[in-house]
Structure 1
């Protein structure tokens, strides 16, 4: 027997790219709850953004924030972790990278060489204009702990040089759907997913099968390391290529509708539905 473990991106995947609605995915999410299949959120969003969203989703499982920078495990879960974790109130936290302040300091002198604008350079009003978020959610998105998103308006060549420049400091740049994200080199959706998979494997006598769903370049690592990689179609960009994975699924529908189709297909293939 195998145990299914779901990892999902949010924007453009579980949430609609334009409206941020998850309504088309609700029935499939309920199926996961019914069959006690964990659904781990793995997102570029912050802890503070997820507080309200997890309530709306009635999400009880672990979650991964800021592109794999940290894993939060709710204390009510009976997950045993064989290492020391940070105590964050209702959660245990496993961190993978440096704090945000270090990333800001490191890039302060780069604005003469490259054209970009970081979250720390923006007002919440500017972020609202860029994303369509409301005031409350924009302010939550700016409360980051481990990463610094930025609008990159320079060339792709300049981005490659910028990446090489920061690599010397163990910092990487990942391109998401809307923003380029500065983060520590070990901050990665795939690393966080595999760490949490190992935690679940410790508690189970069955083999763990991971299914990952995402739509952007910053999901490629996670998708490439999942047992079942699912690319969700986006209304605004071409599906990302998943290297060496000819078995990757591509949803027919966009966003949460495509997400629900993929979940239901997986549950059917696993003999659960």
Structure 2
């Protein structure tokens, strides 16, 4: 098993950023040496903190798939993983042109600055600085209508960019996403463990997680604090815990981990 998880609103509480309610499931993952790959809109600098807090030594996917960090020698040397090539400066140039031409009401992170990011997220100044340390994406506080948001997305798509919606912000990036990064990593894990049956699990709460959720064997849709419908067309297994954030995350993962243990026991018994 390999687990891919969104952070804000999923493993982390939407308001407090607390992950501790998920500690029981996290402990089992650690004891069974099951990889937990963080897949987030957060920056690599932010994810470095959570790697330490959660005692993780696995890859992380940052900026909604635009950046990735894999520990040295984690995968075989022939494994190649790619990320977005467009820079944040280039994104800001296109964003500003589209915003001015269409008179969209919105503010990107670079316009908000650290004080504005603190105000909109509740992060400390230090954490807000890390959140603004981006390489290939630009979060956008949307202040216009939903109809205009769709137009904004179309304008960006016409320019070869992608605009996705997270729990709090729109995210502008190259035409990539969490789904591409997750599929690359699943392939890398299959090469790392040839001859084994790999079950992939993903957990997420926002529209920007839909591609990732559709890319794994099992999808866990965490109740989100937004009004956007989280519908999946995949025929794969979908779990929908009743509780939001890390409580629901823990609930779903404990269910899956118990099932995994039952399967392992049955397999061992059959082999006796």
What TM-score, normalized to structure 1? 0.90
Specify which structure has the higher proportion of helix.
Answer: 2
Specify which structure has the higher proportion of strand.
Answer: 1
* Structure 1 residue aligned with 2:268: none
Q: 1:83 to 1:57 in 2, by over 3 A?
A: closer
SS of 2:13's partner is: coil
- 1:13-32 matched pairs, under 5 angstroms: 13-32=10-29
What CA deviation, in whole Å up to 9, does each residue of 1:228-257 have, x standing for no partner? 000112345466222344731101222111
What is the alpha-carbon distance in structure 2 between the residues aligned to residue 83 and residue 254 of structure 1? Answer: 36
- Judge conservation of contact 2:66–2:173 (CA < 8 Å) in 1: yes
- Judge conservation of contact 1:97–1:183 (CA < 8 Å) in 2: no
Indicate yes or no: 2:68 matched with 1:80: no
What is the alpha-carbon distance in structure 1 between the residues aligned to residue 243 and residue 251 of structure 2? Answer: 8
* Structure 1 residue aligned with 2:187: 198
Indicate yes or no: 2:111 matched with 1:115: no
Q: CA deviation at 1:161?
A: 1.9
Q: CA deviation at 1:121?
A: 0.6
Indicate yes or no: 2:86 matched with 1:102: no
- Consecutive unaligned residues of structure 1, counting only runs of 5 or more, are 86-93
- Judge conservation of contact 1:49–1:137 (CA < 8 Å) in 2: yes
What is the alpha-carbon distance in structure 1 between the residues aligned to residue 158 and residue 208 of structure 2? Answer: 21
| Larger Cα-atom Rg | 2
Task: List structure 1 runs of 4+ shifted beyond 6 angstroms.
Answer: none
User: What is the number of equivalent residue pairs in this alignment?
Assistant: 260
Between stretches 163-172 and 224-233, larger displacement belongs to 163-172
Counterpart of 1:133 (choices 123, 132, 137) is: 123
What is the alpha-carbon distance in structure 2 between the residues aligned to residue 83 and residue 169 of structure 1? Answer: 31
Q: 1:122 to 1:238 in 2, by over 3 A?
A: closer
- 1:1-273 matched pairs, under 5 angstroms: 4-75=1-72, 77=74, 79-82=75-78, 94-112=82-100, 113=102, 114-185=104-175, 187-204=176-193, 205-237=195-227, 240-245=230-235, 247-271=237-261
- Judge conservation of contact 2:44–2:68 (CA < 8 Å) in 1: no
SS of 1:75's partner is: coil
What is the alpha-carbon distance in structure 2 between the residues aligned to residue 237 and residue 60 of structure 1? Answer: 35
What CA deviation, in whole Å up to 9, does each residue of 1:48-87 have, x standing for no partner? 111222111111111100001122111153x1152556xx
SS of 1:117's partner is: strand
- Judge conservation of contact 1:233–1:239 (CA < 8 Å) in 2: no
What TM-score, normalized to structure 2? 0.90
What is the alpha-carbon distance in structure 2 between the residues aligned to residue 153 and residue 238 of structure 1? Answer: 16
What is the alpha-carbon distance in structure 2 between the residues aligned to residue 56 and residue 246 of structure 1? Answer: 32
- Judge conservation of contact 1:231–1:239 (CA < 8 Å) in 2: no
- Consecutive unaligned residues of structure 2, counting only runs of 5 or more, are 266-272
- Judge conservation of contact 1:215–1:239 (CA < 8 Å) in 2: no
What RMSD over aligned residues (CA atoms) do the two structures have, in Å? 1.8
What CA deviation, in whole Å up to 9, does each residue of 1:145-171 have, x standing for no partner? 110010111222222222222223210
Q: CA deviation at 1:27?
A: 2.0
